[in-house]
Structure 1
């Protein structure tokens, strides 16, 4: 997997729902990022191996990305409802 440099990844991409493909490289599908302490089982292991889920770590904040491209590492943030309404009013 190619990792993005700081400069490449410094632009925050926000979407109101999960994109069908990566907005940077076009890879499909994006993986959901799972945060917190997780209990490993066969189902989770399979999703990790398939690239449907990536682990985001145990520290959770209000400003964490929701999805990640397993090809280029681009992170995509969930657009909050108030952000969506601001863009509509413009």
Structure 2
């Protein structure tokens, strides 16, 4: 499947993006991850969120950052849109 992510809010400070995936018309949250063991590697994780969550996160950054923390701990893996591919 090919994804077409359309960003609507970007935070350079906290390194996240809120937007809409145009193929499926669903809202998403993405953020950069830097594994502790491999500081020279970064990748982006994408999570599906509801329209209500999108509105909440757009207006409440504290709640958004708490949600990102839960995602990073693996508590929201069922919402992951896809897993990053390892280089061949």
The TM tier, using the shorter chain, reads under 0.3
Looking at both structures, which has the greater relative contact order when contacts are Cα pairs under 8 Å and sequence separation is at least 6? 1
In our comparison, the structure showing a higher alpha carbon Rg is: 1
Query: With structure 1 as the length reference, what TM-score do the two structures score?
Result: 0.26
Query: With structure 2 as the length reference, what TM-score do the two structures score?
Result: 0.26
| Structure (1 or 2) with the greater strand fraction | 2
